[in-house]
Structure 1
């Protein structure tokens, strides 16, 4: 077997993988029934303060599958909150977290991607590991804490799992009214974590960031290269830092065991001297540079732990798709409209006290001379989460509609960088407005 063919074999063996669909050139979904609908939208501006992507990256994810306890995602998700994001903060691994690590390894060890990995490193690379020894090796290279030395600086309490799937932040904690603190984040190569962070408004997708010449984007839904801004909050939900990632990326759809398997193969290939830091591979006719960094010792040599793992998309079959294969990109200013039959008059995104129980609201006005039946209409926030409308707007009537926040998937207005959209019963855009910041108790006026 070729040392690059193993990645295709692992990918094909992934029984728990999510199907993924992007939009076609008309803006419709290639497969609206896919587990993941990926909405890359627009090229990032390159600046943290400019957000051209008006919708989340993940338009839809099959949460029944994501939280199915028979699969590995639930155990994987349990591991994500076991780390402090700030590199200066010490890490400790209590007994409960060690047990979560063991439970995860015990769960994935019998999956096909991991079994193929063990067979490959034994037969092709001469590792000669038993399953028990292999489990111990996975525990060590992925979860054991180590110190990484790079460019004369040391990062303590590092681990492969934390860097690859969670991310490590460098920032100073905000104090007082200082709102200018902008840190950076490294790692963070997990589609699962990005989706969960989007759902909880901890991360903001700023647009895609591919290096392919002459291309708008990848046209490959199984990978994304992006620009992002992550909020770091304290226990009360106050933002204490923002972390900017100018360019990052991850596979979209593979299960945790598939990603662990591919990275582990690359790790053993690196140990065996077959690769240095990266190698060119092909998966389903898409070409990648697969990057695997091992930890760095004080003398600059490579260490025995996984430092980072991520894909760099190079194009499909080495051919860069023409611009016409991407949906038309609509700049944000062109979708902001408030001059239709129904307009957004005002909103209260940040009521004093609790945001729940319908205390947030939006006022709509029928500017026509005829009644408008709102059955089947809905409002949406920036994340595309809906709030259903009902009743009738009489001619020139202004009516206030509560935002109930009835579930995590319902409309929720943010206190900054918000967007409110109204769609009719054919899901055609009727009105859209945006706002930059909403102070406590402030009613934002959009029209008279």
Structure 2
């Protein structure tokens, strides 16, 4: 553990329970392969260029048949084209998109991961036992539209920011912390992986389930982004939902030990909804020489 970091043991315990319940997590080397290549350099926020330390994509292969065969992934992927990328442009939600949101929530609520998260939140007095009410909670905090850019209409949501990604004033990438979206955008040659980010000599491993990376997207550069790799959408929704609902702070940070990783979990509140949420990799024991 790094100096000055106090681990939240209660959150570590529940997150590790959810980790073990995540039967839909994909396995590196079996369901997908990544190529880490070079270490990315420092660039300031708002930069439009970066030295490319990775000649090839991060994902060299993903078993898309496996992705499409798992209901939560299949319904998750249908949501990724439902949003306007730029802030300041009001979102227009169609009836079909509402149906897709509901179908996704229905799917994740049937998983052991989300059922355990719900029981934990009931025990903390943060959710009712009625599943319809819990679904409404999830829908409000993740899918309710709000103003991110005050000059436009309701242009953002927690789900869009965290899982899909958006751009601000055409100058900055915001969010995009999901590995499936990263892979799909990379496959379409919209996203270009620039290399991994790591402290000191803490070089990542191709089997790691959490990475800090640098990439360009739609002509903009994200200096550093962190994301889980291989985990299911229900796992990410569950842990960030717990963080959000068990805190009233505008910015919630918690250091947890999860599997072989020490992470700083970050959730930013935007009123009654999620503004952003991501894991920041601090250290890992998953290292091989």
Per the normalisation by structure 1, the TM-score is 0.58
Answer whether contact 1:14 1:258 (CA < 8 A) is retained. yes
1:25-424 superposed matches below 5 A: 32=29, 34-47=30-43, 48-68=49-69, 70-148=70-148, 156-172=154-170, 183-210=171-198, 212-217=199-204, 221-231=208-218, 242-271=219-248, 276-295=251-270, 303-316=271-284, 325=288
Q: CA deviation at 1:170?
A: 2.1
RMSD across aligned C-alpha pairs, in angstroms?
Answer: 2.3
Distance (Å, rounded) in 1 between the aligned partners of 2:207 and 2:31 = 15
Q: Residues 247 and 146 from structure 1, CA distance in 2 versus in 1: closer, same or farther, beyond 3 angstroms?
A: same
**Structure 2 gap segments, 5+ residues each:** 1-8, 44-48
Q: Secondary structure at the match of 2:54?
A: coil
Q: CA deviation at 1:127?
A: 2.9
Residues 236-282 of structure 1, C-alpha deviations (whole Å, 9 max, x = no match): xxxxxx121011120001111111111111111113x6x95210111
Q: Secondary structure at the match of 1:59?
A: strand
Answer whether contact 1:87 1:155 (CA < 8 A) is retained. no
Distance (Å, rounded) in 2 between the aligned partners of 1:220 and 1:281 = 20
Distance (Å, rounded) in 2 between the aligned partners of 1:215 and 1:3 = 25
Distance (Å, rounded) in 2 between the aligned partners of 1:130 and 1:203 = 41
In the alignment of these two chains, the number of paired residues is 276
Distance (Å, rounded) in 2 between the aligned partners of 1:138 and 1:59 = 33
Q: What's the counterpart of residue 5 of structure 2?
A: none
Residues 180-230 of structure 1, C-alpha deviations (whole Å, 9 max, x = no match): xxx2201000100000011111100000112x2333346761011111111
Distance (Å, rounded) in 2 between the aligned partners of 1:143 and 1:98 = 9
Distance (Å, rounded) in 2 between the aligned partners of 1:126 and 1:84 = 32
Verify: 1:10 aligned to 2:18, yes or no: yes
Q: Secondary structure at the match of 2:92?
A: coil
Q: CA deviation at 1:35?
A: 1.2
**Structure 1 gap segments, 5+ residues each:** 21-31, 173-182, 232-241, 296-302, 327-448
Q: What's the counterpart of residue 359 of structure 1?
A: none
Distance (Å, rounded) in 1 between the aligned partners of 2:177 and 2:244 = 16
Q: Residues 292 and 88 from structure 1, CA distance in 2 versus in 1: closer, same or farther, beyond 3 angstroms?
A: same
Distance (Å, rounded) in 1 between the aligned partners of 2:284 and 2:203 = 14
Q: CA deviation at 1:91?
A: 0.8
Distance (Å, rounded) in 2 between the aligned partners of 1:132 and 1:161 = 19
Q: CA deviation at 1:44?
A: 0.9
Q: What's the counterpart of residue 430 of structure 1?
A: none
Q: Residues 12 and 82 from structure 1, CA distance in 2 versus in 1: closer, same or farther, beyond 3 angstroms?
A: same
Distance (Å, rounded) in 2 between the aligned partners of 1:195 and 1:257 = 18
Q: Residues 315 and 219 from structure 1, CA distance in 2 versus in 1: closer, same or farther, beyond 3 angstroms?
A: farther
Distance (Å, rounded) in 2 between the aligned partners of 1:267 and 1:129 = 18
Distance (Å, rounded) in 1 between the aligned partners of 2:103 and 2:254 = 31
Residues 16-52 of structure 1, C-alpha deviations (whole Å, 9 max, x = no match): 11012xxxxxxxxxxx4x2121211110133524212
Q: CA deviation at 1:55?
A: 1.2
Per the normalisation by structure 2, the TM-score is 0.88
Larger helix fraction of residues: 2
